[in-house]
Amino acid sequence: MEEHREGSIPLESVSRHSVVSTDETPIYHEHGRITPPGYSARDESGSSTNHDEELPGYSQVRSTGQMVGRGHSARIHRSVWVAFGTIIYVVMAIYAWAIMATMSFRPIKGKSWGYSLKDNVYEDRYNKLVDYALDKHLYRSAQIIQAIVQVATLPWITVVCASAAVIYTQNQKNAMDLRLRNVMALADRRWNEISLYWSLARGGWKKHGSTLLFIAIFVWFFGVITYPVQSIFLTSQVIKARDQPSQRALIADFVADSYFTTTPETGVDVLNTRADLSKADGKTYHSNLWDDSGEAAFLTLTGISSGNFYSQIPSGFNTGLVRQFAPRLNSTAGYETIDAIDFPTNCSAGTDIFYVDYLSSYSYTDTSTVYTWGVTACMPSNSSNTPWNLTHNRQDFTETLYLNFTLLSGDEYPAEDNFYRITVNTTAGYFELPNYLNGGVPGPLLEDGPASLCDKHCMSQDYWDSYQTPNLRRRADGTSNTTTLRNASWNAFYDQVYKGPLLMTALATFGPGSFFEEFTADFEAMQDAYGTGVSEEICLSVPPLYNLLRNVDVGYLQCGIYSIAGDVIWQYIEQFTSSASLFPTVFTAAAYLANQNLMKQLPGAWYVYQDLGVDIHIPSISRAGVIVVSVLMALYLVPLLCLSIYAGRYPRWTSRLDSFVMLRFGAFAGDKVFPLLVTRKQDEVPELDEMPGVIRDVAVPSDEDVIKIGRLGFGEGGALQRDHRYESFKADDEKLTDWESRDMQTSIRRRN
């Protein structure tokens, strides 16, 4: 018996082992059969006493009957663990992607991160709590699973393709449908190697290519690019998600006349405006003064311009995730110095015309000089009818006031008259308050009211009308009366709720009860009350607009106890005439204060809601990105799942196409075919293209076999069958089934 050389590995566990002799070469038959040289049989103990006994070629060996103590055999079985693993992998990949794609646009259980039409019914305004705990947990889980899927993608593709390769090599119709080189490309997982693509670029598909290799390359390619492409489209961001909307204000509405339960107290708006005009200065910041540019600015009345407007909502207020609207009023004044001929002549004769005419003289006790002052104010239009439209739509109107200031010193004649025409253009309507949707800037004046822009992000503000625009109409209050000073009934003006801002300014500054009418009597009463105890430098009454007119310095108003009432009024009028260049700013500021008092007297009928939202981390991807990534995922997940099902559907002769399989292939071919030599040009080894690579049952069945035992090999033969036994290693040996044992016992009894 020959001794084994040092380092050789005896395969004593194989029941019938093939040993390649050293002096013969394999014989290739025309149909692809291979007859390896010098096969010898071993007995069960592994001895080589029958070394010289020759067996037929491997593809022609007869099946051996399974006898007690004779060899090892096993059936071939399906392996579904790869299919189950792929299903788990696919579910994880789809789950992570579905969560991220969905949360990019909406919460898992909601219609939108913001508001939707479904959320805007009245009953849902309050106590509409939103819990994002589930979304946070799902997003976190999707991130973790996404990381696992990305790491596992290429290794798992390799596992699936290697498993499918086993079935592919045994399910070919013909022995030569696959050559050994094709099988080696699959066993080497060459879809992962750049060298394969270099070979294919040089026309090597005929040598290496196969259907399964093409599918593996396809799956591998899209598996490689899917997640880098996904990372280009998919980012994360912190958004403001909808929370609980809160009612922050109940303000006036232009159509609020239908909500009046009682008429506002007559003249209160004029008194409030008169007080505001007296207090107005250039140092106080006004929070309700907005800037058209969208910038949140701190503005004073001396900085007011045509680009500013009034709203009851403080400047810069942000409604967050909801779209809300508010009324806005913008009045801009201008002036002209006119001649006496341009002053209206019908003021005193007309009806429903605002007209006042003050004229007064005074002199100091120590001088005979007589000083005369006079003020005439006229608004020749029908001032008792409101210029306002009761509508949510935009409205524009213009008011005109004529003024004549007279100052006469001594015996000079004629008096020094100063004629002016003041115009105020008013524009009113509604605008969108700053919110997250419009970038936090106020929207422009709306031509058609809030109803034209309201969408799913709106929350109804008008409880009664729900943004419906009423019919356009003008409201007329009061009756016609003559309007001369002291002798007139002023009800037509004071009873009017919707006064124009210039009329309100004129009533407050020049109308009944104004500084010009009441100061003389009030001043004398103060003198009688305080006597000499008050310094003449202390002003006991500030005229309307005086502090705004003082930007042109003509001296401080001396209205102390030793002053003369007429002299105080003279100084006031002189301040007007000296500051005419400030009229646009002064009367624009006055109109702003008048508009403010108009809105204050209207009843609250317009809700303002706010929802600043809650910060939440979500994925971010465009709809185009969702489509692209979804297509890429489908291009590798669907074939991968199909390969897994294919690999698990059929019984297999080995678990995967790996190095141990190739070791057995090499042992079968022998070192005469593939000697252990240096090689760098594998593509030029012709034997790889001549040897078949399809696994067959090459045993020749015999009628004498009790239990047919198949033998694996290359070449012509039958397809592998699930219910057949095949020679196996000892570790895979399977016991006889009950029916096999019965057949065996029956055969033994017959032979005996």
**What is the mean predicted confidence (pLDDT) over 398-407?**
93
Is the confidence at residue 110, as pLDDT, over 70?
A: yes
Out of 282-291, 522-531, 540-549, which region has the weakest mean confidence (pLDDT)?
522-531
pLDDT (0 to 100) of residue 56 = 36
* pTM across the whole model: 0.68
pLDDT (0 to 100) of residue 61 = 42
Reported confidence tier of residue 286, pLDDT bands at 50, 70, 90: very high
Is the confidence at residue 556, as pLDDT, over 60?
A: no
Higher per-residue confidence, 74 vs 481: 74
From the CB of residue 203, how many other CB atoms can be counted at a distance below 10 Å?
8
Reported confidence tier of residue 479, pLDDT bands at 50, 70, 90: very low
**What is the mean predicted confidence (pLDDT) over 366-390?**
81
- Pure H helices in 234-282: 268-279
Out of 40-54, 593-607, 728-742, which region has the weakest mean confidence (pLDDT)?
40-54
Q: State pLDDT tens for residues 342-352.
A: 998 888 766 67
Q: What is the H or E stretch that residue 27 is in?
A: strand 27-28
Cα 488 from Cα 614, distance rounded (Å): 61
- Pure H helices in 602-673: 623-649, 659-669
pLDDT (0 to 100) of residue 99 = 95
Question: Contact 38/21 with Cβ under 8 angstroms?
Answer: yes
Residue at token pair 């099988």: 183
Which of 108-117, 648-657, 674-683, 701-710 reaches the highest mean pLDDT?
Answer: 648-657
**What is the mean predicted confidence (pLDDT) over 623-641?**
95
Helix 583-601 crosses helix 268-279 at what angle (to 10 degrees)? 140
Is the confidence at residue 565, as pLDDT, over 90?
A: no
Is the confidence at residue 23, as pLDDT, over 80?
A: no
Which of 88-92, 102-106, 124-128, 722-726 reaches the highest mean pLDDT?
Answer: 88-92
Is the confidence at residue 37, as pLDDT, over 50?
A: no
pLDDT (0 to 100) of residue 633 = 95
Is the confidence at residue 88, as pLDDT, over 90?
A: yes
Q: In what order do the strands lie in the sheet with 308-310?
A: 289-291, 308-310, 325-338, 416-432, 395-409, 371-379, 354-362
Reported confidence tier of residue 531, pLDDT bands at 50, 70, 90: low
Higher per-residue confidence, 657 vs 224: 224
Out of 90-94, 219-223, 358-362, 442-446, which region has the weakest mean confidence (pLDDT)?
358-362
Strand-pair category, 708-710 with 725-727: parallel
Cα 428 from Cα 331, distance rounded (Å): 8
Q: Say if residue 655 is exposed, middle or buried (CB neighbours under 10 Å; 0-12, 13-18, 19+).
A: middle
Which residues neighbour 249 within 8 Å (Cβ) at sequence distance 6 or greater? 312, 313, 607, 608
DSSP state of 355: E
pLDDT (0 to 100) of residue 558 = 59
Is the confidence at residue 33, as pLDDT, over 80?
A: no
Q: What percent of the chain has pLDDT over 90?
A: 30
Question: Contact 619/104 with Cβ under 8 angstroms?
Answer: yes
**What is the mean predicted confidence (pLDDT) over 300-308?**
88
Higher per-residue confidence, 140 vs 61: 140
Is the confidence at residue 485, as pLDDT, over 60?
A: no
Q: State pLDDT tens for residues 495-505.
A: 777 889 999 99
What integer best gives the mean pLDDT of the chain? Answer: 77
**What is the mean predicted confidence (pLDDT) over 720-731?**
81
Q: State pLDDT tens for residues 439-463.
A: 889 999 999 888 878 888 888 787 5
CA angle 535, 539, 540 (to 5 degrees): 100
Closest CA to 159 of 203, 127, 191: 191
pLDDT (0 to 100) of residue 36 = 39
Reported confidence tier of residue 645, pLDDT bands at 50, 70, 90: very high
Is the confidence at residue 68, as pLDDT, over 60?
A: no
Q: Say if residue 430 is exposed, middle or buried (CB neighbours under 10 Å; 0-12, 13-18, 19+).
A: buried
Reported confidence tier of residue 635, pLDDT bands at 50, 70, 90: very high
Out of 58-62, 105-109, 141-145, 415-419, which region has the weakest mean confidence (pLDDT)?
58-62
Reported confidence tier of residue 118, pLDDT bands at 50, 70, 90: low
Is the confidence at residue 293, as pLDDT, over 70?
A: yes
Higher per-residue confidence, 550 vs 214: 214
Question: Contact 524/550 with Cβ under 8 angstroms?
Answer: no
Reported confidence tier of residue 34, pLDDT bands at 50, 70, 90: very low
pLDDT (0 to 100) of residue 457 = 83
Question: Contact 509/274 with Cβ under 8 angstroms?
Answer: yes
Whole-number CA gyration radius for the chain: 51
